[in-house]
Chain A
Amino acid sequence: MSRRHPPRLARLTSTLTATALVLTLAACSSGDSGSGPDSGAATSFTWGVETEPASFNPFLNSQDAAVPILRNLYDSYLYLDGDGVYHPWLAQSYEISEDRRTISLTIRPGVTFADGEPLDADAAVLNLERTQDPAIVESTNWAVNLERVEKVDEYTFAIVLSEPDVRVLERLASIAGSPISPQDFDLGVDELKFGVAVHGTGPYAVARYDKGQQLVLQARSEYNWAPERLTGRNGPAHIADLTYRFLAEASTRTGALAAGQVDAIDSVPSQDVGLFQDASRYSYVIEQNAGTPYTLYFNVSRAPFDDVRVRRAIQKAVDLEQIVRTVYNGQAEAAKSPISPVTPFYDQTIESYLTPDVELANRLLDEAGWTGRDAEGYRVDDAGQRLALPLFSNSRFVRDSRDILNQAIAAAVKEALALDYTWQSVDSGTWSERRESNDYVAWDNSLNSGDIASALATQYSSDPAVGFINLGQIKDPKVDQLLAQGQQNYDLATRREAYTEFQRYVLEEQAYVLPLYVLRNSYASTPEVTGFLFDPARGNNWGSYNITKPA
């Protein structure tokens, strides 16, 4: 089965104006950047970013914040667009066999790594084989159905699967599946994992790294294999010297941009947004992330959330729209589905389900047997047992005002349902102890991913070898079947059917989760900076390849 897809059509699913702004920016940048930078353009550019990557190795990319930096260094075989379609990139073409179990890719000739080594079938096969070794990768999940990788000719290789798995395509389109120079596998394991010395095929190479301070990149003049569908052009990056300054403190970033000491910053705190909304002085962009939103997963393996009525009562008790608007100053959107609105296969029709209905919520709790009230006014059952919901989160992941959000939800639930619902942040050691003894009623998480298949598999699959973080402990054959349908098919219609039903079933019928808000990245820069690229599949910034700025 040969796969040649028509060009992507503009898709306007989100109602957020910020998303429209991003699309406009992307359109502008691809329109005016067909040729190289003009002579009046700056050759250096400095970012002030919040997070310093713990590793620069593409295989260890669990930090979402590292992706926009690493995209400058590493390319992928395929490019995943915002509709869920996989397009050729470093692989100039690819074919999937009739039984969907063999994927053959032909590499574009002339691609080189930053150390000068060519990317050919040998290099590709070596990379795919070595990245199944748990000693050097973060997860071998993508390869569970991988039987073997074989070289066909100098530039063609084939991936043979034991059963069809779209996550292999996702791997080929993601940073984690990016090829590195064959020479780099001779580095020591620690040096390889740290990754500053690793060479990718990307438009930049590492020139200098000062831990705790900055990463300096140098554009590669020979680069000519950009994903044109996204970039609208090819050739070297516009900016020759690209610097990422690590400025962990938000006010330092905003101050540095205001003072002109950096050209752009990321992670603009909601409270500083007012500063940057003067369009004549700054451009300010919010991008919504794909994958699963920040979501509360009810622990359905134990009381009281083993009862669907209690789960639904919580879903219906709070006006999240209003809480999210207040907590995030209008800079974030309440989530209304188990998957993010910018993800392909998002189903708009279920958005109305989460409309609050406090009366219904109270009735559900009454039906579930929590009819009495104790001395403090909290709901109890016939035996006088209080319905206590002590929620807690791992403090390592409590960021982006999630503490305030969770406290606001707790207060709202308490008021609407007379429930003893509390939230606190605990250290990661305590958290993992309680997790291991199943001593938690719910857990919170968000997962950004390119293809929704992998994010859903790790959070919903009942197979412990796949659902690593299925901490809602959902063991539901129907969920597994829908996940399999979405994962083992490559055609969009079959996948859409699976994920549409998945969203309805998980959110409405079983009330397994309470989606809270859609993750987003924010950027601010001076207005003359253009060419921010947006990764339509992941919903975050795509490297700095197209960025230009007048000198």
Chain B
Amino acid sequence: MVWAAATLTFIAVQLSPGETINTLLGPNSNDPVLRAQVIQDWGLDHPAVVQYLLYFGRLLRGDMGVSYIEHRPVSELLADQFPATIELTLWAAGLAVVLAVALAILTSRPARLGRAVSQFLELAVVSAPPFWIGMLLLAVFSFRLGLFPVAGTGGVRAVVLPALAVGLPIGCFLAQILREGLDRALEQPFALTAQARGMGLGAVKLVHALRHAALPALTVGGLAVGNLLGGAVICEQVFGRAGLGQLAVNAINSKDIPIILAIALLAAIVFVVITTLLDLVYLLVDPRLRGQSQWQEANA
């Protein structure tokens, strides 16, 4: 799958209009000396198939090439930018999960009024463009109240607002799914039984129903977190943060093929890792899946 992603990206880049050499040279693209030099430097005189084979040959040896534009090894650029992205992703994901669980538990039935208010706010946040949420957070918490720095470097304090900007919409979205799951679980006989045993409604939700509701939310949430890796561009821009998103956008704009391919590879790897992790978490959450083989036998 990882290989397929990289190959598709390679083909897409080759098919997109314009020659790489022109982008590389920018305004000086008619300078014949420079043109020859750059074509030779980057092996652009080879046919696309040869470029492809050369690229994968190098990749197998762990060499991702050198950025056309930035003149730095791609591995170094990724190593530079990845930690910032991971940091933001983890904070945002953590925040989204806490928010989703809290909202879902507090506003699943029978809380009628809270539910209506919460649903309205969730819809508003999910529909709002993320950069606008980011600007709003900055305006209030950084510019006006001075609680957080505007940009990049101040450790944990600097990550709070970007994590909110990215995590809020995901959290609200997950809350909607989770609440629906909770509602459905609470209709099941086991919920009534548990309450009949004298268990409080809150405890029923937390101990029993949440587990049932978690499966669809996990699936959606996992994919959302995967998306974060590339989707945080706007947030990076608003908050002046380092990160992969900005790197990817710049690379695509300037046809910086080594970086585009490396990021496609990385994204594919991340998705593989996340789906694998999800499979494992499903097993933890849902005991029925653990006994699947037995269950199948029983059905046979």
A interface vs B, CB < 8 Å?
48, 54-55, 62, 134-135, 138-141, 189-191, 193-194, 210-214, 245-249, 251-252, 255-256, 258-259, 261-262, 396, 427-433, 458, 464-465, 468-469
Contacts and interface: CB of A to CB of B under 8 A. Distances in A.
B297 interface: no
A468 B31 contact: yes
A256 B151 contact: yes
Interface string B104-128: 0000000000000000000000000
Interface residues of B, number: 54
Contact of A429 (B17, B84, B144): B17
Given A210-B152, A432-B23, A468-B28, A194 B70 contact: yes
Interface stretch (B3-11, B46-54, B238-246): B238-246
A212 B18 contact: no
Interface in B26-72: 26-34, 36-37, 41, 66, 69-72
Contact of A249 (B32, B41, B149, B237): B237
Contacts of B241: 212-213
Given A141-B28, A194-B71, A256-B142, 10 more contacts: A48-B151, A140-B31, A140-B34, A141-B31, A251-B138, A255-B139, A255-B150, A259-B146, A468-B28, A469-B30
A261 to B, nearest CB: 5
Contacts of A464: 30, 32
Contacts of B239: 252
A432 B29 contact: yes
Most-contacted residue by chain A among B33, B71, B80, B243 (CB, 10 A): B71
A416 B75 CA distance: 56
A429 B16 contact: yes
Interface of B: 16-19, 22-23, 26-34, 36-37, 41, 66, 69-73, 77, 80-81, 84, 131, 135, 138-139, 142-144, 146, 149-153, 236-243, 246-247, 253-255
B130 to A, nearest CB: 12
A214 to B, nearest CB: 7
Given A62-B27, A261-B150, A211 B143 contact: no
Nearest to B27: A469
Given A429-B17, A432-B23, A251 B135 contact: yes
B257 to A, nearest CB: 13
A465 B138 contact: no
Contacts of B242: 210-213
A189 to B, nearest CB: 8
A247 B151 contact: yes
A-B interface, 9 closest residue pairs, ranked by CB to CB distance from nearest: A429-B18, A212-B242, A429-B17, A193-B71, A213-B152, A259-B143, A432-B22, A468-B30, A134-B37
Contacts of B41: 135
B27 A468 contact: yes
Contact of A252 (B80, B144, B150, B247): B150
A213 B28 contact: no
A190 B72 contact: yes
B18 A432 contact: yes
Given A212-B236, A247-B151, A54 B70 contact: yes
Contacts of A62: 26-28
Contacts of B149: 261
Nearest to B149: A261
Nearest to B34: A134
A259 B150 CA distance: 9
A249 B33 contact: no
6 contacts: A48-B151, A213-B153, A248-B240, A248-B246, A249-B131, A433-B18
B153 A210 contact: yes
Given A194-B72, A211-B80, A213-B153, A429 B37 contact: no
B25 to A, nearest CB: 9
Given A135-B41, A139-B31, A212-B81, A247 B240 contact: yes
Contacts of A432: 17-19, 22-23, 29
Nearest to B20: A429
A136 to B, nearest CB: 10
Nearest to B33: A134
A396 B70 contact: no
B17 A258 contact: no
A55 B26 CA distance: 14
A255 B143 contact: yes
Contacts of A134: 31, 33-34, 36-37
Contacts of B152: 210, 212-214, 245
A134 B143 CA distance: 47
Contacts of B254: 396
Contacts of A141: 28, 31
A291 B147 CA distance: 44
Contacts of A252: 135, 138, 150-151, 238-240
B93 to A, nearest CB: 21
A190 B73 contact: yes
Contacts of A214: 151-153
A256 B33 contact: no
A531 to B, nearest CB: 24
Contacts of A245: 151-152, 240
